[in-house]
Amino acid sequence: MIAVGNALRGDDAAGLEIGRRLSPADGIRVIEQDGEVAAIVEALRAARAAVIVDAAAGPRPGRLARFDAASHPLPARLLACSTHARGVAEAIELARALGVLPRTCVVYAIEGASFDVGAPMSAAVEGALAAAVARIQAEIEALGDAAPEQPASIGS
C-alpha cells in the first residue's frame, strides 16, 4: 500500500494516517510517500498489485472514493488540487506509459477540506479514518498473493 500525504498540512495527512493504522498482518507493507512522482513510479514498478491512498479536495470531507487506476485514468478533478507539485495521477500515467503500472492498481481518495500548513486534520476526515482503514484493509487482504512485494520502504 502506498500512503501519500503531508503530515504538516491538515487533511493532507489522511493518506499517511490511514497507512499507519493498517494492520501489518498478512504481509501488508505500507510505503509512505510525499507525492513525488518518480518515487511513486518506482514503488509501482516493484509491485505486482498496488493500493494507493491520498487526500483530495472535495465538497464532502471524509468521503472515500475508490478508482480502478489500472483500467482507466483517474478523473481529472481527482487530486487536481494537491499539495504535491505533481502527484498520484501523474505518477500513474507515467507508470502506464512506461509499462510498469501493475495490473491491479486501486486508488482511494479521501476528500478533505483543510490543507493549510500547520492546520490540524478536520473533524470530518478524522471521523472517517476508521471506516476508511477497514475498507482499504479488506481490499488489500482480498488481493492475497497479489499484494505488493517491496523489499524496503521507499520515501519518507
pLDDT tens, 24-35? 766 678 999 998
Radius of gyration for the alpha carbons in the chain, expressed in angstroms and rounded: 14
153 in a domain, yes or no?
A: no
62 in a domain, yes or no?
A: yes
Q: How many domains does the chain have?
A: 1
151 in a domain, yes or no?
A: no
**pTM for this model (two decimals):** 0.86
Q: pLDDT per residue over 68-104, tens digit each?
A: 999 999 987 665 544 555 689 999 999 999 999 999 9
97 in a domain, yes or no?
A: yes
We report the CATH number of the domain holding residue 17 as 3.40.50.1450
107 in a domain, yes or no?
A: yes
For the cut 60, the answer to whether the pLDDT of residue 105 exceeds it is: yes
25 in a domain, yes or no?
A: yes
Secondary structure (3-state) at 25: helix
What's residue 26's pLDDT? 60
For the cut 60, the answer to whether the pLDDT of residue 139 exceeds it is: yes
Domain span including residue 21: 2-146
76-114 burial: b if 16+ Cβ within 10 Å, else e: eebbeebbbeebbbbbbbbbbeeeebbebbbbbbbbbbb
What's residue 150's pLDDT? 44
Cell triple for residue 13? 495527512
